[in-house]
Amino acid sequence: MVNETVQALTIAGTDSGGGAGVMADIKTMQERHVFSAAVVVAVTAQNTIGVQDFMAMPKKMIDEQFASIADDLKIRACKTGMLADVPTVEAVVKNLKKYDLGPLTVDPVMIAKGGARLLSEDAISTVREKLLPLADILTPNLPEAEELAGMKINDHDQMIQAAKKLQSMGVKNVLIKGGHQVESKESSDFILLENGNSFWVSSPRVDTKRTHGTGDTLSSCITAELAKGSDVETAIRTGKKYVQATIANGIQVGHGHGPLNHWAKIDKEGDD
């Protein structure tokens, strides 16, 4: 019998400009040789300059997309991205509990690079209380980690403290992204694993504003690697190498925060 193709799922919003959200997730998974399905929970009118408008999907359509996928596909790992508002978060949580979709990576997208809010303020506590306990890996950027952990993060020590706090909220593995520490020469992410081990992954900071969709690309690469059967640490190390390659080998699209080069290649998986 022919081996089943590895399948993963993104649960997120679309980006009409092609750089972030579902579009970045599908491109990333495709490049990592994983078949990508998608539950679209919101549609944005967006380009590299900003988010002009967005609309959350009717909840019935969210339920139907999950059911269609679960009836037919075999999803090995999944991730969430933009979740818009309280009813959307609740619909996603309900479906994640209903179906076996493999390990869950939660990218708690709150505010786009251009400043637009992609998760309503009142939904932050819903994410904290209802979604985080389902997460195998949580990948907040610094402002998102501050919001979820309820503390300021100004240095590496505080990144470590925040990761511990987030783990105590029920998340198994926490990855706090350092992309927003723009004054630093390195872009360093801190990882606290379920077994209590921790490590940093660092790469030289690329001086570019073409960083639209970095978080989506990292979390969807991790999801693709988990779907293939990688352990969490290897999946994260591969994700970091891949996102670095997509930033460092830029492409020219649009006039604002340009998208990443998802065609970029990495020579070796996992370890540096």
Ligand X SMILES: Cc1ncc(COP(=O)(O)O)c(N)n1
Interface pattern 160-189 for ligand ATP (x via CB under 6 A): -----------------xxxx------x-x
Closest separation in Å from C-beta 105 to ligand ATP: 12
Taking CB under 6 A as the rule, does residue 17 contact ligand ATP?
A: no
Closest separation in Å from C-beta 147 to ligand ATP: 12
Find which of ligand X, ligand ATP, none residue 247 binds, CB within 5 to 8 Å per kind: ligand ATP
Taking CB under 6 A as the rule, does residue 113 contact ligand ATP?
A: yes
Residue with smaller CB distance to ligand ATP, 104 or 218: 218
Residue with smaller CB distance to ligand X, 212 or 240: 212
In the list 57, 247, 260, 264, the residue contacting ligand ATP (rule: CB under 6 A) is: 247
Return d(Cα 87, Cα 179) in angstroms, integer.
30
**Amino acid (1-letter code) at residue 116:** A
Q: Which two tokens stand for residue 13?
A: 């919003």
Closest separation in Å from C-beta 212 to ligand X: 4
Residues that bind ligand ATP (CB under 6 A): 20, 113, 141, 177-180, 187, 189, 203, 205-206, 208, 211-216, 218, 240, 243-244, 247
